[in-house]
Amino acid sequence: MIGVTAGRSVNPLVTATLVLAFLYFARSIFVPLTFSLFTIAMVWPVQAYLQRWMPKLLALLITLTATIVVIVIVGSSVVWGFTKLAQWMLLNTGRYQAIYMEWAMWLESHGITVAGPLANHFDMAWLVRFTQGVASRLNSFAGFAVLVFIFLMLGLLEVDDFNRRLASPAAQPYGEKILISNREIGRKLRRFMVVRSFASVLTGLVVWGFALVAGLELAAAWGAIAFALNYIPFLGPLVATVFPTLFAIAQFDSWQTAVIVFVGLNLIQFIIGSYLEPLLTGASLTISPFAVIFAVFFWSFMWGISGAFIGVPILIAFVVYCAQYPASRWLAVLLSGNPAHYEKSPE
């Protein structure tokens, strides 16, 4: 009897572990599939509206074209920003190395001896290689984009039929719950992305203006990088403040100026990300900050940069699905920043 009970308690954990392992090792398929589902949730209302006035295939063509244009514009700004940064850092590697050695000697003179051994083996070229690697990875998304496009095209063609199958009597009672969840997920993801896009554009413009006022070179590139990285909660803004700070150290050769740049950029991120964005998002979309950070780090581990971007939308979908069933509603309450919203959900 004890063995049966233990087996039942272990099975869900084993199942979850196997599912996560499957998602990890099959990420070359699941990452573009997840991105396509996310994109379908974004653009489906556009196609549904167009289908009222024109043939379905023509509506699909227009929707896909508009989606590709938006993705290309955003992706090009990211690649351009990191490419300009990599070129500048490649030309100034020696300056970074000299600054590091100077700081290492200063630390050693103040009794921090660990800096000495590190200085003998440290090469600032790693920073250049890292930046070039990011730009190269962004440029190598062509195969990924093709798979997303194929999944997106096939998915948009099947949305109507899939919804009809979910609403059929044979799929009940789960079909109706999934249909309701999908509609709520779509509404929440669209609102999330509209607010996130507005905040990202505003962050990019403000960072660009701040970089101009501060006298930082590559001000437009910093604005483009801040705009793109703002789509990744926590990690994105962190990188978008650390890189310009390191850049300011090399450009101005002054830690005081670097501190001013660091504080200014963090102030921008705090006002827009911690005050304005939650105000525009509303209570229905609020999620526990701990859950957001965990989702970003966990899906970054699972799927890399793509996982960092898609982590929060996956969390939103997970919370909505959990709220549909009494047995899992407690998870939605724990993960939500507005528990009352799910406590009042219908049984």
203 contacts 272 by C-beta, under 8 angstroms: yes
The parts of the chain modelled with pLDDT lower than 70 are: 1-12, 92-104, 106-143, 282-285, 337-347
- The set of residues, in sequence order, having a beta carbon less than 8 Å from that of 127 and lying 6+ positions away, is 89, 96, 246
What is the pLDDT, as a whole number, of residue 110?
A: 63
Question: DSSP letter at 218?
Answer: S
Q: What is the pLDDT of residues 261-316, one digit of tens each?
A: 899 999 998 888 877 877 777 665 678 788 888 888 899 889 888 888 888 899 99
**Contact in structure between 318 and 20 (CB atoms under 8 Å):** no
C-alpha closest to that of 70 among 95, 108, 51, 42: 42
Spatial separation of the C-alpha atoms in residues 142 and 65, rounded to whole Å: 16
Contact of 285 with 341, CB cutoff 8 Å: no
pLDDT, tens only, 235-248: 788 888 888 888 88
pTM for the whole structure: 0.80
State the CB neighbour count (10 A cutoff) for residue 242.
Answer: 12
pLDDT at 69: 86
Q: At what angle do helices 235-252 and 255-270 cross, to 10 degrees?
A: 160
pLDDT for residue 143: 67
What whole-number distance in Å separates Cα of residue 271 and Cα of residue 265? 10
Q: What is the DSSP string of 167-213?
A: HSGGGTTHHHHHHHHHHHHHHHHHHHHHHHHHHHHHHHHHHHHHHHH
Phi-psi region at 218: left, alpha or beta (left = phi > 0; alpha = psi -120 to 50): left
287: helix, strand or coil: strand
